[in-house]
Each structure stands twice: as C-alpha cells, then as structure tokens.
Amino acid sequence: MDEDIMLEELYSRMINNLQAYHPAAKNSKSIRRAFETARAAHAGQVRKSGEPFVIHPLEVAIILSELRLDKETIIAALLHDVVEDTLLTTEDIKKEFGEEVMFLVDGVTKLTRMSDSVSKAEMKLESFRKLIMAAAADIRVIIIKLADRLHNMRTLQFQKPEKQLEVAAETMDLYSPIAQRLGISVLSTEMEDLAFSYLFPEEFKQISYKLSIMDKDQGMNQIISEINRELGNAGFHFKLRNERKHLFSIYRKMVNRQKTLEEMYDISALKIITNSNRDCYLILGILHYLFNPVPNRFKDYIAIPKENMYQSLHTTLVSKGGRRFEVQIKTKEMDSIAKFGVLAYWKYGESAIDAKEISKGQMEKALWLKQILEWQQDITNNAEFIDLVKGDFDLFSETISCFTPKGEVKRLQKGSTAVDFAYAIHSDIGDRMTGVFVNSAKKEPDYILQSGDCVEILTAKDSGGPQKEWLSFVKTSNAKNKIKKHFRDSLLQEIGNYEWKEGQEASQSGYLVRLNVYMQKINGFRKFQPISQYFFSGNIDIQEFYYREKEGVLTALLQVDDKKELQQMIGELDALQYIEKVELADTKMGYDNKELYSS
C-alpha cells in the first residue's frame, strides 16, 4: 500500500473516532496541522518494523480517541515524539499549538540530554520521575504515556529478544499497574496480557490453548437462560453477558491459589448490567434465592468502592447441577467506570480550561499518585524510588479491606500488619504508634490483618518514634518509606545537634566519626560488597573498618572535615540499596580517640 494512502487511512480512522463525541473534529485545522507537523518532522525515520515512524504517534492518537480524550490531548499525542526524536523544540510546539499542548508533550518526553557522567539507566529512571511530576499537574500526561506504551507493546515483536523482555517487565511492573490504579481496564488488561506473552511464553500458550477448548463448553447456557427468565419475569431492565477474564488475571489467580486451570471456577463471570443501585441489590436477592451462595465469597464494592472507583456486587453461586460460577452486578455507569476509570466522566471540552478542570478533578481521585509524589520528595535515589513504586504496584498481590473505629475503610496489601495500617492513616499515626487493638482485642504491632478487621491504633506524643525492627515485618512500600524517612531525618538532626570544634593541631584538623551501617536481608542474604565498595572508593578517609556478620552491622571510623561533609555522606549511604539503617555512634575530635573503635 502507498505510504500516503496508509497514513491518510489511519488519520481518517482517528477523525471518525473523534466525530463520535465531537462532530466538529473533521474540520479541525489544529489537529490536521499537528498531523502534518509530525509527518514532516519524522520524515525519513522508520520503526523496527520498517514502517514510517509517524505511524506510531498516529496509532497513539487513535487509542486516545477511542478513550474519548479532548482535542489538546490528541494533538499532543501526534507530537509526543517530535521533541525527543527530531529537531523541533518545546518552544516550537508552544508557538504553533499553545502552552497547554507544549506542557503535555514535554511531560511525556524522555530525558536524553543530561551529563555524560549520567548512565542511560539513570536517565530512564529520572524520566519516570519527571513523568510522575508532570502527571501531578495534569493527569492527561500519564494517559498519553499509557497509550504510547500500549502501542509499543503491540509492536514489540520487532524488537530483539532481550529488549522484548526489558520492555515487557517494565510494562508489567510500572505501566499496567498505573492504568489499573486509574481504573482504565481497557488499557491495563491488554498491556498485562501482551507482557505476559513475553515474560511467561509457555504458560501463556498453555492457558490460551486450554481456554480455546473450554470456550466450546455449553455448560453455562442453561444457567444464563434461567437467570434471563427469572429476572425478566420480575420486571427488571438489564443486560446479561458472560465474559472471560483476561489471561494474566487467570494466571495470577492460579499462582496465588496454587491451583490448575481445570480447578478454577471463576475464569469467567456473568455480568448483569441494570439501571440503579437499588436494582443491583434486588437482583442479588433473587440470585441468592435461585442458587446457593458460597460462604465468604460475597463482596460489596458498591458500598465500599475500590481505590480506582470500581463498583459492583460480586457473588459466587452454585447451580443445581453443582457448578460454581461468579456473578457481577452493576449499573451502566459502574460498567463504564470499570472500563474507563478516571476517564468515565471525561467530556470533550470546547476550551482548554474545561479540559484542565476535568483533568484536575480526576486527579483528585488518584490518591495513590499523591502518595508516590510524597515518596518522590522523600527519596533522592532514583533506583530506590522505582523499587518502592514497583513494590507498591505488585500485580500478584491481593488486597484486604480494614476499618478504623469510625468506619473509614483502608485497603492494604494482603499480609499487611497493624503498623502498615497505622501508616496508611497518616505518617504521624505510624510514627507515634504505641499499641493496637484489632476487633477490640489487644495485638502486637506485627499482627497480620484480615479483611474486615476493625483496627484501633494507640498513639502517644512521647512514643519515641517507630522501632527499627518494624522494617523486618511491614508489608507496604508506604510504611517502609515512612519508617526509613524517620530514621534518616533523626540522624541528620543528630548530626546538626553536635558541637563541632576545631582540631587541636592544624595538621590534624578534622573529626573522627564512627558510623554503624545496618544491612537489610534480601532473599535471606545481606549484600556486603556494594557498601564496602562505597567506603573504599578512594574518596573517604577511613581510619578503621570492620564487619560483624552475625548482626549484619558494618562499623567504620572515618575522618571528616565538617558537618556538611558528614551529612552528604549520610545521604549517599542512605541512597544505596540493601541498607536498613545508618547510625551515628559517636563523634570526636583528633586522632587520639581510638576508643571510638572499640566494640
């Protein structure tokens, strides 16, 4: 096919999508100008597939038009690679398309022009931090990035095998969970399944094949007919569909439950879409009358929505023939939110102000993004920041719902403790925690919570702060970060409180400092080598150095010139992975204080 014809067909497809919710889009001069600008800027560039590069931004814009995004977002999608890959600058974008489009394009643009001393991996991590910061101001930035990643996953077969694994892992660890947290299941499920096919190819093939056989099973038809008849006779207006869950979701359930595919009864779900909340509960009553409900398999996400705004009634039933099946009951609005999340209420704004207000309103619902922004301020090391985000985004983890004494719901990762719950309320509550009551019974801080628990945290202003041993059992990334931050801040304050005096002899000016570095166990082992490499890098004046393997504590006697140097050293140490805590043991003047070294 001729290149021009192919590009025009893709452009027409995007415009047709836009016209469904904005009839004037066909005659939009700014959208056409953005397309022509991208086309000219990317002229001569080709993708790994051999196709013209401009097909990629066009496909990204098509994905966003299917999500019914506004005109400025579509324009930014068409231009999202020009600053990174062509001679055009953000100022060129601003001059031609306005400041709003420029901000969206700049937010998605990866960092490529940093110091030569900065590695490619470090730039990649810094680019992700930049993306999060931009999304905090306008959530459309991250929506564009998700569409960009989805199209890259759709064309991943043209990359080298090692690149495929890298991109698939990053998608599974970061981008799919972001789409999931925003409630945009139409993006998250496709990204997960595509990443699954590269990361676990054998499992992907096996599950796909077995499901193709199971799809021929007619066992659900009788159940569906009975439900249709009974609800119709009761006068309800509804739609009923039988939907199979996506492949990675099924695989995740198999891993978590340690079951084979043949042992899974909820690889699909009957979804009943009705008109009102009231009808949802009435239909639930009829279903529980027709079929036996399975104990402890009912979840009311209408009364207690998920963090990504998902609402529905979930119940597991047993047919007269002994077959288990899952039913989800929701309204039309809830069904839309289940697919599009924060975009469910998105309307095409005629003005830039309308679109920004919509983005701001949806941003307020993405509480998890606010939490990540807090971590970004607390953590200077990019690798540690990304590890924390990945831990919070763990797609294999399940969640529980617990309650405060006032009935406020807190959702936590399964396996979370009372300390995790305290920090989920507020960092001050966690720092001042002195005890806990779970369902009116006194428990220890490491008590593992169960879904439905009512948790009361006891606090005191003079609690002394969090305990070091809490790091060994807390589950959530939020609690780990807040505890580490407390110890880091306490240490820096301790340094600031020391009275620093000049050395007695000019030739021996400086101070002896003993630091205890506590190393964290990773998979049962402590990583001693990276820490020792830091101390013996040649930039630190070491007087004594030893390691107590049993306790996992490295002690170093160092000479520093002043408080500023020590503070910088503490910051660098704290940024290293595998460190649980850095402790300032003592600070003395001169070289004759060898007693500092004594253990």
| C-alpha–C-alpha distance, residues 29 and 41, integer Å | 18
Phi-psi region of 410 (alpha: psi -120 to 50; beta: other; left: phi over 0): beta
| C-alpha–C-alpha distance, residues 326 and 329, integer Å | 10
**Residue 229 structure tokens:** 């008849």
In this structure, which amino acid lies at residue 125?
L
CB contact at 8 A, 69 and 343: yes
CB contact at 8 A, 396 and 402: no
| C-alpha–C-alpha distance, residues 64 and 72, integer Å | 11
Tokens 């579509």 locate to 74
| C-alpha–C-alpha distance, residues 148 and 56, integer Å | 8
Question: What is the phi/psi pair of residue 505, to 5°?
Answer: -120, 140
CB contact at 8 A, 191 and 150: yes
Displacement of CA 223 from its chain's centroid (Å): 38
In this structure, which amino acid lies at residue 491?
L
Would you call 457 helix, strand, or coil by DSSP?
strand
In this structure, which amino acid lies at residue 367?
L
Question: What is the phi/psi pair of residue 203, to 5°?
Answer: -60, -40
The DSSP secondary structure of 547-562, one letter per residue, reads EETTTTEEEEEEEESS
Would you call 437 helix, strand, or coil by DSSP?
strand
Displacement of CA 385 from its chain's centroid (Å): 12
Sequence-ordered alpha helix ranges (H) in 341-497: 352-363, 367-378, 382-392, 418-425, 427-431, 477-497
Tokens 């990866």 locate to 110
CA 63, 66, 67, 69 dihedral sign is positive
In this structure, which amino acid lies at residue 6?
M
Rg of the chain in Å (alpha carbons): 28
The CA-based dihedral angle spanning residues 139, 140, 143, 147, taken in that order and rounded to the nearest 10 degrees: -160
Contacts of 99 (CB under 8 A, 6+ apart): none
| C-alpha–C-alpha distance, residues 573 and 520, integer Å | 13
| Residues designated catalytic | 84-85
From the list 544, 547, 543, 550, the residue with the least C-alpha distance to 529 is 547
